[in-house]
């Protein structure tokens, strides 16, 4: 999966928990939860949506890496790359 596709998947998962937010206004380096006013239930739903969409497990200890948009994309990219293995 390309980084662009991952970014899109993250945006979609975010839109589901915060449908009224204009995602283009989000600072990708800052905490998502503060910017789009989501609570712990919303955030859990967001993480579950990523897990389902991208078909990867997200260990509890890694959830802290998902709190910014950049953090999400970097983490998911690394996870998917190691799962997909070398491309032939």
Partner 1 sequence: MSEFRMPSLGADMEYGTVVDWRVKAGDRVKRGDVVALVETEKGVIEVEIFEAGVIESLVVQPGQKVPVGAPLAILRGEPGAKGQEPSAQRIGTAGETVVVVAPTTISAESRVTAEAQSSAPTAAAVAPSTARRAEISPLARKRARELGVDLTELVATRPNGAICAEDVERVAPKPAAAPQVAPPAKALDLAAMRRVIAAAMARSKREIPHYYLASSIDMQRALAWLAAENAKRPVTKRLLYAALLLRAVALALKSTPELNGVWVDEGFQASEAIHIGVAISLRQGGLINPAIHDVDKKNLDEVMVSLLDLVNRARSGHLRSSELSAGTITVTNLGEQGVQSVFGVIYPPQVALVGCGKMTERPVAMNGLLGVRPMIDVTLAADHRVSDGHRGGRFLLAVERLLQEPDKL
| Contact residues: partner 1, CB under 8 A | 18-20, 37, 39-41, 44-45, 47-48, 51, 57-61
- Give 4 or 19: the residue with its C-beta nearer to partner 1: 19
Residue the block writes with tokens 């206004």: 25
How many angstroms separate the CA atoms of 17 and 37, rounded?
10
| Cβ at position 39, least distance to partner 1 in Å | 5
- Give 4 or 57: the residue with its C-beta nearer to partner 1: 57
| Cβ at position 80, least distance to partner 1 in Å | 16
How many angstroms separate the CA atoms of 70 and 82, rounded?
18
Q: How many Å is the maximal CA-CA distance in the chain? A: 43
């Amino acid at each position: 999966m390309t980084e662009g596709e991952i970014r899109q998947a993250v945006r979609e998962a975010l839109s589901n928990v915060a449908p009224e937010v204009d995602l283009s206004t989000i600072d990708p380096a800052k905490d998502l939860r503060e910017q789009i006013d989501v609570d712990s239930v919303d955030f859990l739903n967001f993480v579950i949506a990523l897990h389902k969409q991208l078909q990867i497990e997200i260990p509890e200890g890694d959830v802290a890496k998902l709190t910014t948009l950049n953090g999400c994309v970097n983490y998911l990219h690394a996870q998917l790359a190691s799962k997909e293995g070398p491309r032939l």
